[in-house]
């Protein structure tokens, strides 16, 4: 798979772990950041989201301190369903039910072992389709209410 990955300074360390231990065998596009100097998470969220939205990447991974800012910013890009996951269960459901195409992690929330397990589940799980297609369509259409 082609995976786009990005992080701010608070997610940089975990990004390096995922690059070294979690993404071998995949084609990876690392959009930065490349050190721990303070920077702004929306820069990387939007880079990764645009790569996924355009089809240049199949899935994205974003890491900041909590994962919250990344998930908010990335989900503003058309076609992006960014999911903040703190457990393997959340990662499985994010793919199976929500067809999430960007995984967001908190570098100050989950440890490297947990993050690697979450990433693995996210990459291995497919979208279930069925009733979930209707729900995603409602999101795209702006809701039925």
Task: Spell out the SS3 assignment of 15-44.
Answer: HHHHHHHCCCCCEEEECCCCCCCCCCHHHH
DSSP-derived letter for residue 82 is E
When asked if residue 66 is in the footprint of ligand RB5 (CB under 6 A), the reply is yes
Residue in this structure with the two tokens 């990005």, named with its chain if needed: 6
34 classed as catalytic: no
97 classed as catalytic: yes
Selected from 19, 68, 117, 136, the binder of ligand RB5 by CB under 6 A is 68
Paired sense of beta strands 27-30 and 82-84, if any: unpaired
When asked if residue 64 is in the footprint of ligand RB5 (CB under 6 A), the reply is yes
Nearer to ligand RB5, 71 or 123 (CB): 71
**Contact flags string 28-47 toward ligand RB5, x per CB under 6 A:** -------------x------
Q: How many CB atoms lie within 10 A of CB 45?
A: 30
Span interacting with ligand RB5, options 62-70, 92-100, 124-132, 133-141, rule CB under 6 A = 62-70
Paired sense of beta strands 82-84 and 59-64, if any: unpaired
When asked if residue 75 is in the footprint of ligand RB5 (CB under 6 A), the reply is no
Three-state SS for 143?
A: coil
Which residues would be at the binding site for ligand RB5 (CB under 6 A)?
A: 8, 10, 41, 64-66, 68-69
């Amino acid at each position: 798979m082609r995976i786009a990955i990005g992080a701010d300074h608070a997610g940089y360390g975990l990004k390096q772990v995922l690059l070294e231990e979690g993404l071998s065998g995949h084609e990876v596009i690392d959009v930065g950041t490349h050190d721990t100097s303070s920077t702004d998470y929306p820069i990387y969220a939007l880079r990764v989201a645009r790569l996924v939205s355009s089809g240049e990447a199949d899935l994205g991974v974003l890491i900041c301190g909590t994962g919250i800012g990344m998930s908010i910013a990335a989900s503003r890009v058309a076609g992006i369903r960014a999911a903040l996951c703190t457990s393997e269960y959340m990662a499985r459901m994010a793919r199976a039910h929500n067809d999430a195409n960007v995984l967001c992690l908190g570098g100050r929330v989950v440890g490297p072992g947990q993050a690697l397990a979450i990433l693995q589940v996210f990459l291995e799980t497919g979208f279930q389709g069925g009733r979930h297609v209707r729900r995603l369509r409602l999101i795209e259409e702006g809701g039925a209410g």
